[in-house]
Amino acid sequence: MVELLGNGGGSGFGAVNINGGIYHPQQTQNGIEISTSSTTGFGTISGNAFINIGLTTGKIFLPEIPVLLLPDYSQTATYKFDIFANQGILNSTSGVVSTLSANATATTLSIAPVAYTDINTGAATATQAEVRFTAANTGIVTYNGTKQIYCSIHASVTLDSGGNDDTYTVGLFKDSGAGYALLPGSEVEVEFDGSGGFSLDVGTIAINYGTLFNNGDAVKMQIKSTGASASITVTDYQLVIRE
């Protein structure tokens, strides 16, 4: 019904504003299709109604994520579109869910001077969901969108001290192009105490934070020890970043 064609050597679209319409494609029709070879400077799709009744092989919105059959807002062609407040399709809300499960690879820490160290994930971090973000198996999460956004960050981290009596601190670090730096106030401590004949080897902490993201900004978690312990294992974590 509406198709934004590929540039084909042209200059692309400067600005696109699609709002206040009703899109009811029939059978093999597509409602709105944005070619993956097109470019747009500024795009807004809002206040529309998308109806899928009567569709066979057609789609209400393209491009689409295979298997999930959801709108693909993580394409170069769709990065600059704000798609909100429509009926029938998801908002283009950026976010990512990255998880680590049953990790057995210990993180070796710097003893003196005390310094933060990247959490060793054993390259086993899994991406559960992502829109305009990518998550590496090492735990680094990168924002790929072009619009500056404000995101909340939520993490639940489980640590196994292996019997060490020590205090550990986990913090969020962000790289905006000049190297990773601690996000102030994101640090959370956990203490393992084996005194009195009782040893608590496993503990869980929660981090809640918020920060701005620009294109290419990356976030990761690091850990340090305040005592003399040389290693600790981060067995599990769930990291959620959402616009």
State mean pLDDT over 166-174.
94
Instruction: Let me know: does 241 contact 151? Beta carbons within 8 Å.
Output: yes
Decide if pLDDT at 154 tops 70: yes
Q: What is the pLDDT of residues 179-191, one digit of tens each?
A: 999 999 999 999 8
The predicted structure's pLDDT at residue 112:
64
Tally of domains in the chain:
2
**pTM confidence score:** 0.92
Residues 139 and 211 in one domain: yes
Out of 84, 110, 145, a domain closes at 84
The predicted structure's pLDDT at residue 45:
98
Residues 191 and 131 in one domain: yes
Signed CA dihedral, 199, 204, 207, 213: sign only? positive
HSE (side-chain half, CA atoms, 13 Å) at 82: 13
Nearest to 236 by CA among 205, 209, 201, 208: 205
Q: What DSSP character marks residue 55?
A: B
Instruction: Let me know: does 31 contact 23? Beta carbons within 8 Å.
Output: yes
Residues 238 and 162 in one domain: yes
Of the ranges 74-78, 152-156, 224-228, which one carries the lowest mean pLDDT score?
224-228
Q: How far apart are the first and last CA of the chain?
A: 30
The count of residues in the chain is 243
State mean pLDDT over 208-232.
92
Decide if pLDDT at 85 tops 50: yes
**90 is a domain residue:** no
Across the chain, what does the average pLDDT equal? 93
pLDDT band at 194 (very low <50, low <70, confident <90, very high): low
**148 is a domain residue:** yes
Pairwise CA distance, residues 36 & 81, whole Å: 13
Residues 37 and 57 in one domain: yes
Residues 67 and 119 in one domain: no
Out of 52, 84, 116, a domain closes at 84
Of the ranges 26-30, 113-117, 150-154, 193-197, which one carries the lowest mean pLDDT score?
193-197
Q: How far is CA 62 from CA 33, 56, 201, 237, in A?
A: 5, 15, 50, 34
Decide if pLDDT at 198 tops 50: no
Residues 204 and 120 in one domain: yes
Query: Do the bridges between strand 218-225 and strand 166-175 make them parallel or antiparallel, or are there none, so unpaired?
Result: antiparallel
pLDDT band at 144 (very low <50, low <70, confident <90, very high): very high
Q: What is the pLDDT of residues 20-32, one digit of tens each?
A: 999 999 999 999 9
Residues 114 and 51 in one domain: no
The predicted structure's pLDDT at residue 25:
96
Q: Which residue has the higher pLDDT, 4 or 200?
A: 4
**221 is a domain residue:** yes
Nearest to 161 by CA among 121, 114, 106: 106
Residues 79 and 128 in one domain: no
Nearest to 89 by CA among 67, 59, 119, 133: 59
> Which domain CATH number covers 170?
2.60.120.40
pLDDT band at 197 (very low <50, low <70, confident <90, very high): very low
Domain coverage including residue 216? 95-242
State mean pLDDT over 10-16.
89
Out of 16, 49, 84, a domain closes at 84
Pairwise CA distance, residues 2 & 39, whole Å: 16
**89 is a domain residue:** no
Of the ranges 35-49, 107-121, 124-138, which one carries the lowest mean pLDDT score?
107-121
pLDDT band at 146 (very low <50, low <70, confident <90, very high): very high
**122 is a domain residue:** yes
- Give the rounded percent of residues in the chain with a pLDDT score beyond 70: 95
The predicted structure's pLDDT at residue 113:
67
Nearest to 107 by CA among 122, 93, 95: 122
